[in-house]
Structure formats: structure tokens, C-alpha cells
Amino acid sequence: MRLPDLNIFTAWLLIPQTLAMGWVAALGRLILELFGTDTPEEGIPGRIVGALLLLGAVFVVRRLLGGTLPIVGNPVGNGYRFGHRLILTGNILAAALFVFQIAWHWIPSAAAVMVMAQLTSAFGYWVMALWMAGFSFLYQSTQVA
């Protein structure tokens, strides 16, 4: 794995984004409305501001925990590479879910939106399993035989 810290940081950013996507968007919308901007309920600005707030929160937590978020893993341990690959796959699917939530307004076909919404909603369930298994393998790589 080339950038294991970035992979873990992205996972810790996308985990709350995926679990509480509507709440994060509502918080971004609330912040925008506190500054006097009128935003639609499922609007893009609220989602982006919420994601930026979440990015800041994860960055601050990362700094408070000494530069890394648990669990780092042992590069020579058993399951390290496989765990990072699972986490990376989960990150890619979660990013696709996030991008779809922003871009679905521009898809002209209602049928395509319905199919893609069901598919990306399934991504939300898959990424939880991928992250869980990936972090389990990373934890396993830290165990001494």
C-alpha cells in the first residue's frame, strides 16, 4: 500500500459521511442559513459545507490523537495489504455514493436516477462490511504470532 495513512484518513472521513449523510447535509445547510444563505433542503451547497465541516472535525481529531487515527496496522504483519485493499474498495464505493448524492440533480432520466439511487444505496451497506473486514485485517496484522 503506497499511502496507508491517506487510506485510513479517507475511511475515517467517509465512515461518518456514509452513516449520517443526511445529518451532515442538514448541518451544512444550517450553517449556511445561519449566514443568511437560503438553500434548498436537498441542495448541493449544504452537502458540500457539511462534508467540509466533517473534514475539519476528522482532521482535528487526527491531530489530537497524535497524528494518526486507529488502527494503523503492521506493514509486515499478516493481513495488512488485504486489509488496506478492503478499506480502499470501501472508500471508492463510499466516494461514489457521495458523488451521486451531489450529482443526481443533473441526470436527465428519472429511470436512471432510480436505478443509480438503488445501486449507490447498496454501496452504503457494502462499504460498512468492507470497512469492518478491512479494519479487522489491519488489527490482525498488529498481533504478534
Nearest residue to 99 via CA among 17, 9, 20, 40: 17
| Model confidence pLDDT, tens digit, residues 15-43 | 888 888 888 888 888 899 999 888 877 77
Joined together, the cell numbers standing for residue 91 give 472508500
- Whole-number pLDDT of residue 144: 64
- Whole-number pLDDT of residue 117: 84
CB-CB contact of 97 with 18 (8 Å) = yes
* Residue 137 pLDDT greater than 80, yes or no: yes
Go through 103-122 and write b for each residue having 16 or more CB atoms within 10 A of its CB, e for each that does not: eeeeeeeeeeeeebeeebee
Domain that holds residue 50: 4-142
Taking residue 133's Cβ as centre, other Cβ atoms within 10 Å add up to 17
What is the 8-class DSSP label of residue 41?
A: T
| Model confidence pLDDT, tens digit, residues 40-96 | 777 788 888 999 999 999 888 888 876 666 677 788 888 888 999 999 999 999 998
Please tell me the total count of domains within the chain. 1
- Whole-number pLDDT of residue 78: 84
| The CA-based dihedral angle spanning residues 90, 93, 96, 97, taken in that order and rounded to the nearest 10 degrees | -90
Q: How far is CA 4 from CA 28, 32, 51, 62, in A?
A: 29, 34, 22, 14
Find the distance separating the first CA and the last CA of the chain, reported in whole Å. 22
